[in-house]
Structure 1
Amino acid sequence: MRIIDLSSPVDATGWEPDPIVHRIMTPAEGAVHMSEEMKLHFGLEFDPAELPGGELLSLDTLTLTSHTGTHVDAPSHYGSVGTYGTPRTIDQMPLDWFLRPAVVLDVTDVGIGTIGADRVRAELERTGHDTQPLDIVLLHTGASRFTGTQRYFTDFAGVDGPATEYLLDLGVRVIGTDAFSLDAPFGHMIREYQETGDRSVLWPAHFAGRRREYCQIERLAELDRLPPTGFRVACFPVRIKGAGAGWTRAVALLDEETV
Structure 2
Amino acid sequence: MRLIDLSTAIDAAGWEPDPVTHEIVSAKEGARHMAREMREHFGVDFDPSTLPGGELLSLDRISLTSHTGTHVDAPSHYGTPEDGGRPADIDEMPLDWFVRPGVVLDISDAGVGTVGPDRLEQGLKEAGHTPSPLDIVLLRTGADRHAGTQRYFTDFVGLDGPAVEFLLDFGVRVIGTDAFSLDAPFTHMIGAYQKTGDPSVLWPAHLVGRHRPYCQIERLSHLEDLPSPHGFTVSALPVRISGAGAGWTRAVAWVDR
TM-score normalized by the length of structure 1: 0.96
Q: Is the 8 A contact 1:156 1:184 kept in 2?
A: yes
Alignment partners' CA distance in 2, 1:37 and 1:112: 51
Alignment partners' CA distance in 1, 2:83 and 2:126: 34
Letter in 1 for 2:56: L
* Residue matched to 2:77: 77
Gap runs ≥5 in structure 1: none
Deviation, 1:126, is 1.4
Residues 215-243 of structure 1, C-alpha deviations (whole Å, 9 max, x = no match): 00000000010121110100000000000
Alignment partners' CA distance in 1, 2:170 and 2:144: 27
Alignment partners' CA distance in 1, 2:145 and 2:89: 30
* Residue matched to 1:123: 123
* Residue matched to 1:222: 222
Say if 1:204 and 1:91 are closer, same or farther in 2 by CA, change over 3 A. same
Alignment partners' CA distance in 2, 1:117 and 1:161: 9
TM-score normalized by the length of structure 2: 0.97
Deviation, 1:248, is 0.3
Residues 56-97 of structure 1, C-alpha deviations (whole Å, 9 max, x = no match): 001111111000000000000001234383210000000000
* Residue matched to 2:254: 253
Letter in 1 for 2:251: A
* Residue matched to 1:102: 102
Residues 88-115 of structure 1, C-alpha deviations (whole Å, 9 max, x = no match): 0000000000000010000111131111
Gap runs ≥5 in structure 2: none
Q: Note the 1:112-191 alignment, pairs <5 A.
A: 112-191=112-191
Q: Is the 8 A contact 2:81 2:211 kept in 1?
A: no
What secondary structure sits across from 1:110 in the alignment? coil
Say if 1:117 and 1:194 are closer, same or farther in 2 by CA, change over 3 A. same
Alignment partners' CA distance in 1, 2:40 and 2:160: 57
What secondary structure sits across from 1:16 in the alignment? coil
Percent of aligned positions that are identical: 68
Deviation, 1:46, is 2.0
Say if 1:112 and 1:238 are closer, same or farther in 2 by CA, change over 3 A. same
Letter in 2 for 1:214: Y
Further displaced range: 34-43 or 6-15: 34-43
Alignment partners' CA distance in 1, 2:46 and 2:193: 65
Alignment partners' CA distance in 2, 1:57 and 1:82: 49
Deviation, 1:53, is 1.2
What is the number of residues matched between the two proteins?
A: 256
RMSD of aligned alpha carbons: 1.1
Alignment partners' CA distance in 1, 2:158 and 2:101: 22
